[in-house]
């Protein structure tokens, strides 16, 4: 049988040997480990806690992982560790706040500018993962709870109560409702803040008009009190003058008037050129002049 005809361009091509092929396996394995190793290490800081889930079997560890560096099977295409931040989380972030609307017990729409802070209990991180999910799901769950608690707290009060006596108690009530829902799942509500409460424009205008009217009434009442105080001062002055006149009138006896009369006559007579005309009777000076005589009768 004749040998097969091999084209000229393929005559110099040689097949790789089995030895060389086997040498490529370790190289490929090392390259695979080098590529997947960075994705298989998880760092947990001192303010975090992690929960490990097996992506193949779905098994979840019974205890959370604290601070440290952890290695798992190559996780290039799936996430094995769910990390939770155990610090206090502000929502909205920074110094911002959210304006939410809710209906009161008398169907009045109230706008509330609010924010809250919460944190994850590291001891309950595994239960939180099984019930709620990862950190993103936790943030969404807390926000939903906040909106529900705010709506329920406002619905317990009337518009008048919210805008007057019960204004300061809204934050406490919302915090209580959120804590009752979240604490058993491993989420602690640190603080709920109510920055401002705004009624509808028509109600706000009515409240402002009422406040202006109350201020005007207060000012009028103050002016009335001033007038009454001045009148009382004048009355007291008149009473003092009357009492003084009564005292003087009681002290002017006939003997004192006669004595004062003689003293006056003596003082006038001592001055040169003065002429004193005094009533007499039988050559005697009269000290007690009858009323009819004094009136020229």
Same domain, 239 and 171: no
pLDDT in tens, 8-19: 555 555 555 556
Question: What is the model's pLDDT at position 181?
Answer: 93
Domain count, the chain: 3
Instruction: Give domain status of residue 172, yes or no.
Output: yes
Domain enclosing residue 266, as ranges: 204-271
Instruction: Give domain status of residue 14, yes or no.
Output: no
Contacts (Cβ under 8 Å, ≥6 apart) of 103: 109, 110, 151, 154, 155
Residues 142, 134: contact at Cβ < 8 Å? no
Q: Which residues of the chain have pLDDT under 50?
A: 76-77, 291-297
Tokens 């992506």 sit on residue: 55
Instruction: Give domain status of residue 28, yes or no.
Output: yes
Report the SS3 class of residue 71: strand
Question: What is the model's pLDDT at position 107?
Answer: 84
Question: What is the model's pLDDT at position 136?
Answer: 92
Instruction: Give domain status of residue 59, yes or no.
Output: yes
Same domain, 156 and 75: no
Question: What is the model's pLDDT at position 16?
Answer: 55
Same domain, 107 and 193: yes
Q: How many DSSP H helices and E strands does the chain contain?
A: 8, 10
Question: What is the model's pLDDT at position 217?
Answer: 87
Residue 164 belongs to a domain with what CATH number?
3.30.479.30
Instruction: Give domain status of residue 254, yes or no.
Output: yes
pTM of the model: 0.58
Instruction: Give domain status of residue 8, yes or no.
Output: no
Instruction: Give domain status of residue 289, yes or no.
Output: no
What phi and psi, each to the nearest 5 degrees, are found at residue 158? -85, 165
Last residue of some domain: 142, 177, 199? 199
Instruction: Give domain status of residue 63, yes or no.
Output: yes
Question: What is the model's pLDDT at position 148?
Answer: 93
Q: How far apart are the first and last CA of the chain?
A: 192
């Amino acid at each position: 049988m004749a040998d097969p005809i091999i084209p000229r361009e393929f005559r110099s091509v040689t097949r790789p040997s089995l030895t060389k092929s086997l040498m490529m396996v370790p190289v490929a394995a090392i390259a695979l480990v080098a590529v997947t190793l960075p994705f298989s290490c998880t760092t947990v800081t001192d303010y975090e806690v992690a929960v490990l889930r097996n992506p193949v079997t779905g098994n979840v560890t019974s205890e959370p992982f604290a601070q440290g560096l952890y290695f798992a099977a190559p996780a290039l295409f799936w996430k094995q560790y769910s990390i939770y931040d155990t610090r206090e989380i502000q929502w909205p972030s920074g110094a911002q706040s959210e304006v939410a609307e809710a209906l009161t017990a008398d169907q009045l729409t109230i706008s509330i500018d609010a924010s809250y802070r919460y944190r994850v209990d590291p001891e309950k991180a595994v239960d939180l993962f099984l019930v709620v999910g990862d950190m993103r799901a936790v943030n969404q769950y807390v926000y939903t709870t906040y909106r529900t608690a705010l709506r329920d707290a406002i619905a317990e009060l009337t518009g008048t109560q919210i805008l007057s006596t019960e204004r300061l108690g809204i934050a406490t009530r919302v915090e209580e409702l959120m804590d009752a829902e979240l604490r058993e799942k491993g989420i602690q509500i640190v603080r709920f803040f109510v920055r401002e409460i705004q009624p509808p424009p028509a109600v706000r205008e009515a409240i402002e008009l009422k406040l202006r009217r109350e201020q005007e009434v207060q000012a009028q009442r103050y002016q009335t009190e001033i007038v009454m105080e001045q009148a009382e001062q004048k009355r007291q002055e008149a009473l003092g003058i009357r009492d003084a006149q009564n005292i003087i009138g009681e002290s002017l006896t006939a003997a004192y008037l006669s004595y004062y009369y003689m003293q006056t006559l003596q003082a006038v007579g001592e001055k040169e050129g003065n002429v004193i005309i005094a009533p007499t009777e039988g050559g005697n000076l009269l000290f007690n002049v009858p009323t009819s005589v004094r009136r020229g009768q």
